[in-house]
Homo-oligomer: A and B are copies of this chain.
């Protein structure tokens, strides 16, 4: 059973669809796949754990934990919605960071993607909005607000523009920067237009930058890099070729004369959506790293 989507949530739905029916949740799942759902005023949260090879194969995702936040109001156009979403995200990130034994772990944020293509610019935009402190923490004679953690942030660019694989850049930087934890942000593809810019996936299983061809060498994960990796992804597009295939069905024999390669389906106002989503994700990371700040208070430290 071949399944291809960046979202664990969708992979799981596709299993259900294959079975042509919706069963009781615990019933429908392969051994080693555990799903819990909960709900806040603004968000549906699905928490999927995959801890067996069987479940990993069935769902086409690596072993690990996948938390999905689905925003009830994806427009994110009020302060309250943004703060609430940022805080929910911060809580999930804090739990992940908390697993580290280190008292003040050094965190490196890597914002993947191409800042010149709006739908792919989420990662670089988040990186730009992180309240970085690593350089100040390393100065001996500077006093710094005790609530601030130790964090740095880079946007490594994309291979077509740098000529270097993203993972090579990050692996090189780990050698000199030596963080304890890596947080990676990337724009994903969904199968459903309704998920675009309305879903945040947080996973501890790592990420393969770009199209996800499964090249181990390029994977950003604990196994490859040696430090815990938290991947935060938001679907910002639907791949046009996938959409067409989904619409027509696999059994469809109609010859499609058009080439949908390199075409994407995206909302008209993608610019605004990316701007707000990057505000919320950077706020989540900032609030998880630096203790005791509200979403706007932490911005006092942004230069």
Residues in chain A within 8 A of chain B (CB atoms) = 77-79, 116-120, 127-128, 130, 132-136, 151-157, 159-165, 168-169, 171-177, 192-194, 196, 240, 244, 247-248, 256, 258-260, 262-272, 296-297, 299-300, 302-303
What 8 pairs between A and B have smallest CB-CB spacing?
A132-B163, A152-B163, A79-B296, A172-B176, A134-B163, A172-B173, A172-B172, A168-B176
Cβ 8 A contact of A78, one of B156, B196, B297? B297
List residues of chain B with CB within 8 A of the CB of A77. 299-300, 302
List residues of chain B with CB within 8 A of the CB of A264. 265-268
Closest residue of chain B to A129 (Cβ to Cβ) is B161
List residues of chain B with CB within 8 A of the CB of A299. 77-79
| Copies of this chain | 4
Identify 21 residue pairs between A and B in the complex whose beta-carbon atoms are under 8 Å apart, listed by A's number: A78-B297, A79-B299, A117-B271, A130-B163, A132-B162, A134-B164, A135-B160, A136-B163, A152-B162, A153-B163, A164-B177, A168-B176, A175-B175, A193-B263, A240-B265, A247-B247, A247-B256, A263-B266, A264-B268, A265-B265, A266-B266
Q: A128-B161, A163-B133, A172-B173 are in contact. Are A271 and B240 (CB under 8 A)?
A: no
A177–B244 Cα distance when bound, in Å, is 39
Are A270 and B117 neighbours in the complex by a CB distance under 8 Å? yes
- A135-B163, A160-B303, A269-B303 known; 16 new pairs, CB 8 Å cut-off, are A77-B299, A78-B297, A116-B271, A116-B272, A135-B159, A152-B163, A153-B161, A154-B162, A154-B164, A154-B169, A169-B177, A192-B258, A193-B258, A248-B248, A262-B269, A264-B265
